[in-house]
């Protein structure tokens, strides 16, 4: 498993394909909890290659791809939440690549990048049915925390906020 920082437009295109796949899966799962697909997709997944490049090329941000046997396996990024807090975002590993170290490699790369960028804490937002992701976050020391942003009312019953010190 190889994890590297995203730099090129083609890397961002690969990451967007992963994020779009995650969005479709997330919308299917969330609809079972009464979350309107369009609301979820607008809130979390309304990205283009250009918006991803703008967001993750900012100072204090980083974005990573994992590849296995030359194939894109997953992505994860972070950006500035406030001066001392980073936010983990867009963490996704393809189903067929799970259990092979991609998620751990991506998380490690993000946490190292956050430390290098001088953050004291990291936080994230996830949903209750992403059990594998929650287990990964907990294994890295994340704990539930108070809500740190406004979210659509339809997402409130299933949203979990987590954080940890770096």
Asked whether the predicted pLDDT for residue 9 surpasses 90, the reply is yes
Nearest to 111 by CA among 81, 76, 67: 76
Contact 81, 114 (CB under 8 A): no
Mean pLDDT rounded to a whole number for the chain: 94
Q: Is residue 78 very low, low, confident or very high in pLDDT (cuts 50, 70, 90)?
A: very high
When mean pLDDT is compared across 18-27, 118-127, 137-146, the lowest value belongs to 18-27
Percent of the chain whose predicted confidence (pLDDT) is above 90: 80
As a whole number of angstroms, the distance between CA 63 and CA 57 comes to 8
Asked whether the predicted pLDDT for residue 43 surpasses 90, the reply is no
Asked whether the predicted pLDDT for residue 128 surpasses 90, the reply is yes
Q: Is residue 42 very low, low, confident or very high in pLDDT (cuts 50, 70, 90)?
A: confident
Residue spans of the domains in the chain: they are: 2-120
Asked whether the predicted pLDDT for residue 67 surpasses 90, the reply is yes
Beta strands 121-127 and 85-93, pairing class: parallel
Q: Give how far the C-alpha of residue 42 lies from the chain's centroid of Cα atoms, to the nearest Å.
A: 16
Q: Is residue 70 very low, low, confident or very high in pLDDT (cuts 50, 70, 90)?
A: confident
Give every CB contact of residue 88 below 8 A, 6+ residues apart in sequence. Answer: 76, 77, 78, 107, 110, 122, 123, 124
Q: What's the pTM value of the predicted model, to 2 decimals?
A: 0.94
Mean pLDDT (whole number) for 91-114: 95
Q: Higher pLDDT residue, 102 or 42? A: 102
Looking at domain 2-120, which CATH architecture does it have?
A: 3-Layer(aba) Sandwich (3.40)
Residues in the chain: 166
As a whole number of angstroms, the distance between CA 144 and CA 106 comes to 21
Contact 149, 123 (CB under 8 A): no
């Amino acid at each position: 498993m190889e994890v590297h920082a995203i730099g090129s437009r083609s890397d961002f295109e690969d990451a967007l394909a992963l994020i779009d796949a995650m969005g479709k899966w997330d919308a299917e799962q969330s609809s079972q909890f009464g979350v309107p697909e369009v609301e979820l997709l607008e809130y979390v997944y309304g990205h283009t290659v250009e918006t991803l490049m703008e967001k993750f090329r900012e100072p204090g941000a980083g974005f990573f791809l994992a590849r296995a046997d030359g194939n894109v396996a997953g992505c994860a990024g972070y950006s500035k939440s406030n001066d001392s807090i980073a936010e983990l975002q867009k963490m996704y590993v393809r189903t067929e690549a799970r259990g092979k170290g991609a998620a751990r490699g991506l998380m490690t790369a993000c946490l190292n990048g956050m430390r290098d960028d001088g953050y004291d804490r990291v936080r994230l937002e996830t949903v209750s049915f992403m059990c594998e992701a929650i287990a990964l976050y907990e294994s890295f020391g994340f704990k539930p925390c108070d809500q740190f942003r406004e979210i659509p009312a339809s997402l409130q019953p299933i949203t979990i906020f987590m954080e940890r010190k770096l």
